Amino acid sequence: MSDQFDLNGKRILVTGGTGSFGKRFIRLLLDTYTDVKVIVLSRDELKQFEMQQDFPDENLKFFIGDVRDLDRLRMAFMGVDVVVHAAAMKQVPASEYNPTECIRTNIQGAENVIQASIDCGVQRVLALSTDKAVNPINLYGATKLCSDKLFTAANSFGQPQGTSFAVVRYGNVVGSRGSVIPFFKKCQAEGRAIPITDERMTRFWITLSDGIHFVEKCLQIMRGGEVFISKIPSMKITDLAQAVAPELETEVIGIRPGEKLHECMVPMAEARRTLEFKDMFIIQPDSESWGYDFSAQYGDEVGENVAEDFEYSSETNTEWVTSEDLHAMINDTVASDHKWAKAG
């Protein structure tokens, strides 16, 4: 197996780079690596302007563009070594109500990123995914499943040209704009009952800090075609509400369209191709036609095959978030916010 990929001196582009993940990940790159050049590609000039004010850096450039526009992507990807694809339409209700828009961004956008990366000779492409892509029941999850399949299959065409593609999959991010925690805190500030969709519901949780470091690690060890899954804890939605606002009552309102009771990140059907490591699982691709052996070693660690009936679900997870854990995760997010703002 080749040595870990060195990010020093690389030109790295992040699609959707003005989002919660993009801001933190870009700060990590600029603070950690030497001679690194970072490009933000997004379609909202106001968010780009605000981000420029937060931390002006000569090694950070901004590029207005949409992943739906292949020609614009080709222009943006010229001379780029690494692409981290974070742009997506992510809200479940909005995707259900605007299905064609979700398809154009999440599926056609993925196709465009793949094509532009191959055309421009990008070395590595890592796409961010979600637990909702596993056994999807909503359009958002279905489009991300398609996206995952597109990126893993793209190695058949990309690797002969020198471009490798992989996917990172994780759950809900504590403190992100789409997280339920800010909404619960809003209910607390207003002194009203917290709406709970179903008392049995569980979800995977990860801090933004852990998320960006996991993506950083996967960029360094990926070979192409893998789906990387971070080992993260679960929490019941009722415990989450109790931890955030213990003084408030909850109100069960029923599951919304497109929601599941529990989420899964490694389905049983893919257990035969899944390796377990200390802090992650790796689902290896079906194809072995890309010119190298899919060994069980990544970095300094050798993975072990999981059982054939294995499934990594938020309901049967062995690690759970306590109230104390959640407050520590929230504090970590707040501290990261402060550090990021101060660094800017």
Other beta carbons less than 10 A from residue 178's beta carbon: 13
**CA pseudo-torsion sign 318, 321, 325, 328:** positive
Query: What is the SS3 assignment for 191?
Result: coil
Q: With b meaning 16 or more CB within 10 Å and e meaning fewer, what string describes 130-159?
A: bbbbbebebbbbbbbbbbbebbbbbbeebb
Cα separation values, 128 from 170, 218, 230, Å: 8, 11, 12
Of the residues 37, 132, 217, 260, only one is catalytic, namely 132
Q: Where are the beta strands (DSSP E) in 149-254?
A: 164-170, 172-174, 194-196, 202-207, 227-230, 234-236, 250-252
Q: What is the CA radius of gyration of the chain?
A: 20
Summarize the chain as % helix, strand, coil (round to 5): 40, 20, 35
Query: What is the SS3 assignment for 226?
Result: coil
CA 37 to chain centre: 21
According to DSSP, residue 107 is labeled I
Cβ distance 120 to 81 under 8 Å? no
Which residues partner with 62 through β-bridges? 40
Residue 90 falls in the annotated catalytic set: no
**The amino acid at 102:** C
C-alpha–C-alpha distance, residues 64 and 190, integer Å = 38
Cβ distance 58 to 195 under 8 Å? no
First-to-last alpha carbon distance for the chain, in angstroms, is 38
Catalytic residues: 132
